[in-house]
Amino acid sequence: MLRYVARRLLILAISLIVASALIFSIVELVPGDPASFMLGTGARPETVAALRDQMGLDLPLPLRYAQWVGAILTGDFGTSFTYKTPIAGMILDRMQVSLPLALMALLLSTAIAFPIGILAASRRGGASDAAVMGATQLGIALPNFWFAMLLVLLFAVHLQWLPAGGFPGWSDPLAALRSLLLPAIALALPQAAILARVLRSALIETQGQDYIRTARAKGLTRGQTLRRHALRNALIPVLTIMGMQFSFLLAGAIIIENVFYLPGLGRLIFQAITQRDLIVVQSAVLVLVAAVIAVTFLVDLAYAAVDPRLRRR
């Protein structure tokens, strides 16, 4: 177990280093230099020189990378070029929208996918299986932002049950949750379709195993074997997909946040791009990527928790 965790930790560290270096160098690749890119073509040379100096662009590249990473490790992400405020605070603010949104979507997607995936697997070949497979096939093909527009049309415009967009802040938790509900559904449903299909095929695969036959032979019903034996063994592929989905939900929120005018991390990245605020883009993307890498690490640990065979390695 210790070796397994150590190996995962090493991979985590390497991934973080390489990812941060990649993000850092992509921004270095902008046509011209970052300072003149951010200020636009009409900027005066003094202004460009001042920004170059502020960003430390005259220092050699590896040194700047080291300084950037070093500062981030102490929680200093630098100052936004357009808002003149510390980026760390901005990211923290935005996370209060993006993180709950992603968690809500993941929860919803799991809550939908598990029952229908199990149903389809236990009635394999039957009418309900065909219905689940058909519905999930459609769900996978849905662009979530379009689905979001349809949800707004139905629930916000026609029925007026939920707000069409905006975020009131967490001072009123109920209102905040209400405004996150439609975006979370829009994000969750296509993901639930994928998850349900993975769960179904993983369950069907395990059901062909000898230990399932043994369990049936000793008198357990189909439902009991499914819940007690097959489900646990089908969890590995399901966990993999759930880990990938969480990162997808965090990142996919960029588009959904735009549909609902939610002040989340995705919208911050997007606004920063249109304002050419590369410092914010760089930091916010790094935070997202780091979150994804961290989730991958946690999923790897979860494998070991679910599958005792991995612990012995």
Partner 1 sequence: MRWGLILGAILAGIAVLAALISFAWTPYDVTAMAIADKLQTPSASHPFGTDHFGRDILSMLMVGARTSIAVALVAVGIGMGLGVPLGLLAAANRGSWIDETVMRGNDLIFAFPSLVIAILITAVFGPSAVNAIIAIGIFNIPVFARVTRGGAMPLWTLDYIRAAEVAGKRRARISVEHILPNIANLLIVQGTIQFSLGILAEAGLSYVGLGAQPPTPSWGRMLAEAQTMVTIAPHVAVIPGLAIVLTVLGLNLLGDGLRDWLDPRLRVMR
Q: Which residues contribute to the site for partner 1 (CB under 8 A)?
A: 11, 15, 18-19, 22-23, 26-27, 29-31, 125, 137-138, 140-143, 145-146, 149-150, 152-153, 157, 247-248, 250-252, 254-255, 258-259, 269-270, 273, 281, 285, 288-289, 292-293, 296
161 or 170: CB nearest partner 1: 161
Q: Which residues pair with 86 in a beta bridge?
A: 79
Q: Who's near 37: CB < 8 A, 6+ residues apart? A: 30, 31, 276, 278
52 or 227: CB nearest partner 1: 52
Minimal distance, residue 230 CB to partner 1, in Å: 17
143 or 169: CB nearest partner 1: 143
Buried b (16+ CB within 10 A) or exposed e, 61-88: eeebbeebeeebeeeebbebbebeeebb
92 or 140: CB nearest partner 1: 140
Minimal distance, residue 139 CB to partner 1, in Å: 10
Helix runs in 208-277, H state only: 210-217, 222-225, 231-260, 265-274
Minimal distance, residue 172 CB to partner 1, in Å: 26
220 or 290: CB nearest partner 1: 290
Number of Cβ within a 10 Å radius of residue 173 = 10
Minimal distance, residue 110 CB to partner 1, in Å: 19
Question: Tokens for 35?
Answer: 């300072």
Question: Tokens for 113?
Answer: 């996918």
Minimal distance, residue 113 CB to partner 1, in Å: 17
Minimal distance, residue 26 CB to partner 1, in Å: 6
55 or 292: CB nearest partner 1: 292
19 or 49: CB nearest partner 1: 19
Minimal distance, residue 271 CB to partner 1, in Å: 11
Q: Give the integer Cα–Cα distance in Å for 91 and 98.
A: 10
Question: Tokens for 219?
Answer: 């008198």
Q: Who's near 27: CB < 8 A, 6+ residues apart? A: 34, 278, 281, 282
With beta carbons less than 8 A apart as the criterion, state whether 192 and 174 touch: no
Question: Tokens for 158?
Answer: 């026609």
11 or 162: CB nearest partner 1: 11
Q: Who's near 98: CB < 8 A, 6+ residues apart? A: 250, 253, 257, 264, 265, 266
With beta carbons less than 8 A apart as the criterion, state whether 124 and 130 touch: no
Minimal distance, residue 200 CB to partner 1, in Å: 12
